[in-house]
Amino acid sequence: MDNEIKQTVQLRARAAKDAAVKLSAMDAQQKNNILAAMAEALQQNIKEILFHNEIDVQAAKDAKITSTLIDRLTLNEKRAADIIAGVKNVILLQDPVGTVVEETKPSFDIDVKKIRVPLGVIAMIYEARPNVTVDAAMLCLKAGNAVILKGGSEALNTNRILVKIIYEAGIKAGMPEGAVQFIDTADRSAVQELLHLDNYIDLLIPRGSEEFVNFVKKNATVPVLSHGKGLCHTYIDKDADIDMSVNIAVNAKCQRPSVCNAMETLLVHKDIADKILPKLCEIYSKENVEIKGCEISRNIVNTIKPAEEKDWSTEYLDLKVSIKVVNSLQEAIAHINKYGSKHSEAIVTNDKATADKFVAEVDAAAVFINTSTRLHDGSVFGLGCEIGISTQKLHARGAMGIKELTTTKYVIRSNGTIRK
């Protein structure tokens, strides 16, 4: 490992640790003032942000990076506006720090409270998406944490200008120096160093490909909260509304196929398949979706290509979908629990008992009833924005907002009580 890079990463982590102590003592208004200043600075510099993003996008195209990654990398006026709106939404959220999670009085002379406190220093290692740079910084700061940002090389210019803008604005508004750290290098040795700085970093959140996330989980000594892949399903039940089913299945696949909450596999009950599939596949064809399916689905729509076993476990992140006709709700649940990534799963049905059984038995961070999986998002859930979607079961699951960026502390109060 390059010794200079190693020292730089360590210095930034140490500075973040020092800043975290100061952040933990700041009240909600102080933190909101910092975020407001950052939002204003981003608004004033949109043209400069988009200029630097165009440099990254063109370089990505020249390097023939996949269309999926280019879509995640690309900013435009609307996406920039959404980033700023996300900051403003975070400002409106209640500050979780100091809130009482539970309180007990186990005896007359002792009072026990469990309160929310910041985690400390959070490191984000992520690929492609520059919006993560701002979302992560805002959520971490609101929860009283310092943050270390290590974006992918493909977004280096965009991330560099974003951090420069929010850092300078934050410092002017009273943010402690070092609270937002940016690892300004494409050298992968910087990631290796971050993985082992458990004396400075309290939580590491990787976002990227399944291969990348697994590498981080296997090699880190810092606690990891992983953002797994999104192999999401929609199951259309025999008691589903046809028009609703088609609308949801089209939205879940086509609205933005490159993201983790897009549907990859469609399951359809055999009793409704011949009513759903011709209409749905016609729309998919117009949307340039490549359709693969089981033998039964291909007998209904002869333009469907044969699906292979690997298709059921593939996260396409593209205009591709696999379709399977199932004999029952139980078969659909079994398929999802076998091949799914525990991210987002949906059922379309008018039968409440069927929906309840699906919710109870499907193992996923979020389960949707008559709703597109594309709605699994922090802003949609009222979290302001999100730092990621966890497919783990500890310590957070699903869309992660500011509460998921805190831990708890017991505070015990008495009038001189001692243990006998």
Identify whether 370 is part of a domain. yes
Cα-flanking dihedrals φ and ψ of residue 34, to 5°? -65, -45
With respect to residue 380, please indicate whether it lies within any of the assigned structural domains: no
* Residue that is written with structure tokens 């508004």 in the block: 173
**Do 35 and 136 have their domain in common?**
yes
Q: CA–CA separation, 400 vs 378, rounded Å?
A: 7
**Average pLDDT in the 37-65 region?**
97
Asked if 114 and 213 sit in the same domain, the reply is: yes
pLDDT at 333: 98
* Whether 212 and 236 share a structural domain: no
pTM: 0.89
User: Residues 350, 401: one domain?
Assistant: no
Residue 269, phi-psi category: left (phi > 0), alpha (psi -120 to 50), beta (remainder): beta
**Helix pair 46-62, 156-172: axis angle to 10 deg:** 160
Q: Say if 32 falls within a structural domain.
A: yes
Q: Are residues 239 and 295 in the same domain?
A: yes
Q: What are phi and psi of 406, to 5 degrees?
A: -120, 165
Residues 125 and 180 in one domain: yes
Residues 220, 246, single domain; the answer is no
Q: What confidence tens digit (pLDDT) does each residue in 162-213 have? A: 999 999 999 999 999 999 999 999 898 999 999 999 999 999 999 888 888 9
Q: Tell whether 267 and 171 lie within a shared domain.
A: no
If you compute the radius of gyration of the chain from its CA atoms, what whole number of angstroms results? 23
Question: Residue 152 falls within a domain, yes or no?
Answer: yes
| H helix count then E strand count, the chain | 14, 16
420, part of any domain: no
Domain count, the chain: 2
Q: What whole-number distance in Å separates Cα of residue 281 and Cα of residue 304?
A: 8
Kindly report the CATH number assigned to the domain that includes residue 101: 3.40.605.10
- What pLDDT score was predicted for residue 203? 97
Q: 149 and 10 in one domain? A: yes
Does residue 370 share a domain with residue 265? Answer: yes
Q: Is residue 307 part of a domain?
A: yes
Residue 418 has pLDDT above 90, yes or no: no
Q: Is residue 381 part of a domain?
A: no
Q: What is the CATH number of the domain that holds 247?
A: 3.40.309.10
The three-state secondary structure class of 318 is coil
**pLDDT per residue as tens digits for the range 290-301:** 999 999 999 999
pLDDT tens for residues 339-378?
A: 999 999 999 999 999 999 999 999 999 999 999 999 999 8
How much is the mean pLDDT over the chain?
95
Max Cα distance, the chain (Å): 80
pLDDT for res 226 = 80
DSSP string computed for 77-90: HHHHHHHHHHHHHH
Please check whether residues 188 and 266 belong to one and the same domain: no
Same domain membership, residue 195 and residue 91:
yes
172, 164 contact by CB (below 8 A): no
Strand partners of residue 123: 148, 204
Q: What is the pLDDT of residue 210?
A: 84
Place of tokens 């979290």: 383
Tell whether 354 is covered by a domain. Answer: yes
Range of the domain at 59: 3-226+392-414
Q: Which residues pair with 224 in a beta bridge?
A: 204
Query: Side chain identity at 168, as an amino acid letter?
Result: E
- Confidence class of residue 1 from pLDDT cuts 50, 70 and 90? low
Cα distances from 17 to residues 92, 271, 372, in angstroms, run 26, 59, 40
